[in-house]
Amino acid sequence: MLALLCVSLFLVACASDASLSTEEQIRDMYAKVTEIWQEVTGGRAADDGQDPTLHAMCQVQPSASLDAEQPQVTGFVLFRQLAPGARLEAFFNLEGFPPEPNGTKRAIHVHQFGDLSQGCGSTGPHYNPLGVQHPQHPGDFGNFAVRDGSLWKYRSGLVASLSGPHSIVGRAVVVHEGEDDLGRGGNLASLENGNAGRRLACCVVGLCGPEPWARLVQERRKRRRDSECKTA
Ligand SMILES: [Cu+2]
Ligand SMILES: [Zn+2]
Specify if 227 maps to a domain: no
Q: What is the pLDDT of residue 6?
A: 44
d(CA 4, CA 8): 6
Specify if 103 maps to a domain: yes
Which is catalytic among the residues 106, 171, 176, 181?
176
Closest Cα to residue 93, out of 155, 139, 33? 155
Specify if 150 maps to a domain: yes
Which is catalytic among the residues 80, 106, 137, 171?
137
Q: Are residues 193 and 101 in the same domain?
A: yes
Q: Are residues 72 and 9 in the same domain?
A: no
Identify the domain containing residue 138 by its residue range.
54-222
Q: Are residues 77 and 22 in the same domain?
A: no
Residue 72 amino acid letter: Q
Q: What is the pLDDT of residue 48?
A: 67
Q: What is the pLDDT of residue 41?
A: 66
Q: What is the pLDDT of residue 165?
A: 93
d(CA 86, CA 168): 14
Q: Are residues 187 and 104 in the same domain?
A: yes
Q: Are residues 141 and 211 in the same domain?
A: yes
- Residue 11: CB partners within 8 Å, gap ≥ 6? none
Q: Is the pTM of this model over 0.95?
A: no
Closest Cα to residue 165, out of 138, 192, 191, 125? 138
Name the domain count of the chain. 2
pLDDT tens digits, residue range 88-101?
999 999 999 998 88
- Residue 17: CB partners within 8 Å, gap ≥ 6? 25, 28
Q: Are residues 117 and 29 in the same domain?
A: no
Specify if 47 maps to a domain: no
What residues sit around ligand 2, an ion, with C-beta below 5 angstroms? 126, 134, 137, 140
Q: Are residues 28 and 88 in the same domain?
A: no
Q: What is the pLDDT of residue 220?
A: 87
Q: Are residues 150 and 37 in the same domain?
A: no
pLDDT by 10s per residue, the chain, length 232 = 444 444 444 444 445 556 778 778 877 877 777 777 777 665 554 556 788 999 999 999 999 999 988 999 999 999 999 998 899 999 999 999 998 888 899 999 999 999 999 999 999 999 999 999 999 999 999 999 999 999 999 999 999 999 999 999 999 999 999 999 999 999 999 999 999 999 999 999 999 999 999 999 999 899 889 888 877 6
Task: Report the separation in Å between the CA atom of 107 and the middle of ligand 1, taken as the mean of its atom positions.
Answer: 7
- Residue 68: CB partners within 8 Å, gap ≥ 6? none
Ligand with the closest atom to the CA of 193: 2
Q: Does 166 participate in catalysis according to the annotation?
A: no
Spacing of C-alpha 25 from chain mean position: 20
Q: Are residues 118 and 196 in the same domain?
A: yes
Q: What is the pLDDT of residue 10?
A: 46
Q: What is the pLDDT of residue 17?
A: 59
Q: Are residues 33 and 58 in the same domain?
A: no
Output b/e per residue, 139-177; b: 16+ Cβ within 10 A: bbbebbebeebebbeeeeebbbbbbbebbbbebbbbbbb
Q: Which CATH number does the domain housing residue 106 bear?
A: 2.60.40.200
